[in-house]
Chains A and B, each alone.
Chain A
């Protein structure tokens, strides 16, 4: 078993930092499927450091983000980066779509044929434009606002709304039962 004193300290850091680190990795990574690996590698390195030296006088959260940043850099070769570059225009300013999303398109309006949200999430993750699963994670899982997501991802709000709108339409087409229902 891992040393009890180190484990206790590690558990404490893990509980306090997990969500922030997760958000950081989701935003920074090139593919959301790598999130778990990067998080595990980051904490594993922290564990090894904790076993070697005392980290009492540092901001552990920033320290952990630094480790994660290095892990992300190491994780992606240039080739991987090229493969995941999106051809989707990030500065799309389609005002109509924003209005549509705000007023009519809502995830709750979808009637899903089978209650299979795991498959839907896998479908979202498999999109070539990896901003799509990132936005969905930040918007639906972490409850960040469009504005907050736009700041985190450094993209326009319209681009985010456009992504959500188009993806929801795509989901309805593939998993819906008779199209979008408007209440």
Chain B
């Protein structure tokens, strides 16, 4: 055999039509197998996707139902004559207090809630950690020229844990208590507790409510009190 033939043979072994053909057929079979497996996988994914889809729909419906239940529908307790609506506010209008006031603390102030012989203040449902109660009287001037603060604007009963949690009850007989914020009552929903109508607003970690009861105008503001604690308190004082 000549050198040329030997080299030819070596090349033939490296780049060989039969080897290439066999490789091609192997790849064709491999591709077919993969396609088959992919098809199988694809069809096996159908019921899984369907299950996920149905679960998603059920979940969304459940969520929507709950949304309606908790966010749009009021809490109704027919037995205790309560229809509770919380108006969630995106923002609260703040304003400066348009009056000169003087606050005097440590005084005995009139008690605005109904109390009979068998009841005392502790009967009301107040969060157990709110152990401190402070009373204030807010005075305003008779007129702008006057130097004397001798007109009672309202009373304040501040129930607090001495830190960040508090219920501040402002009340007044003849007028609405002074406050430095306002709410638009438009579209706000009314809460009814024992036939008394009030509007409850929620803003961040505070609840506010305005109502008239027992001959007083009330303005209650809370700080870091839960919805449950606040509603329990309201239900207990409006009995």
Q: Is B3 an interface residue (CB 8 A)?
A: yes
A170 to chain B, nearest CB (A): 14
Q: Is B13 an interface residue (CB 8 A)?
A: yes
Q: Is A165 an interface residue (CB 8 A)?
A: no
Complex Cα gap A14–B22 (Å) = 12
Q: Is B180 an interface residue (CB 8 A)?
A: no
Complex Cα gap A36–B11 (Å) = 12
The secondary structure that dominates the A interface is: helix
Which of A58-66, A97-105, A106-114, A146-154 contacts its partner? A106-114
Size band of the interface chain B makes with A: 20 to 34
Binary flags per residue of B24-35, CB closer than 8 Å to A gives 1, else 0: 110111011000
Are the C-beta atoms of A36 and B23 separated by less than 8 Å? yes
Are the C-beta atoms of A117 and B9 separated by less than 8 Å? yes
Q: A107-B3, A140-B7, A141-B8 are in contact. Are A118 and B32 (CB under 8 A)?
A: no
Size band of the interface chain A makes with B: 20 to 34
Complex Cα gap A18–B25 (Å) = 15
Q: Is A121 an interface residue (CB 8 A)?
A: yes
The secondary structure that dominates the B interface is: helix
Q: A2-B32, A112-B3 are in contact. Are A40 and B20 (CB under 8 A)?
A: yes
Q: Is B6 an interface residue (CB 8 A)?
A: yes
Are the C-beta atoms of A140 and B8 separated by less than 8 Å? yes
- Measured between beta carbons, the chain A residues less than 8 angstroms from B12 are 141
A window 5-32: CB within 8 A of B:
14, 18, 22
Q: Is B91 an interface residue (CB 8 A)?
A: no
Q: Is A159 an interface residue (CB 8 A)?
A: no
A window 99-148: CB within 8 A of B:
107-108, 110, 112, 115, 117-118, 120-122, 125, 136-137, 140-141
- Measured between beta carbons, the chain B residues less than 8 angstroms from A43 are 20, 24
Are the C-beta atoms of A108 and B3 separated by less than 8 Å? yes
- Measured between beta carbons, the chain B residues less than 8 angstroms from A40 are 20, 23-24, 27
Give the residue of B14, B19, B31 whose beta carbon is less than 8 angstroms from that of A121.
Answer: B14
Q: Chain A residue with minimal CB distance to B26?
A: A40
B14 to chain A, nearest CB (A): 6
- Measured between beta carbons, the chain B residues less than 8 angstroms from A122 are 14
14 more contacts with CB within 8 A, not counting A44-B27, A141-B11, are A18-B20, A22-B17, A39-B20, A40-B27, A43-B20, A43-B24, A47-B24, A107-B4, A115-B6, A117-B7, A121-B7, A121-B10, A121-B14, A140-B11
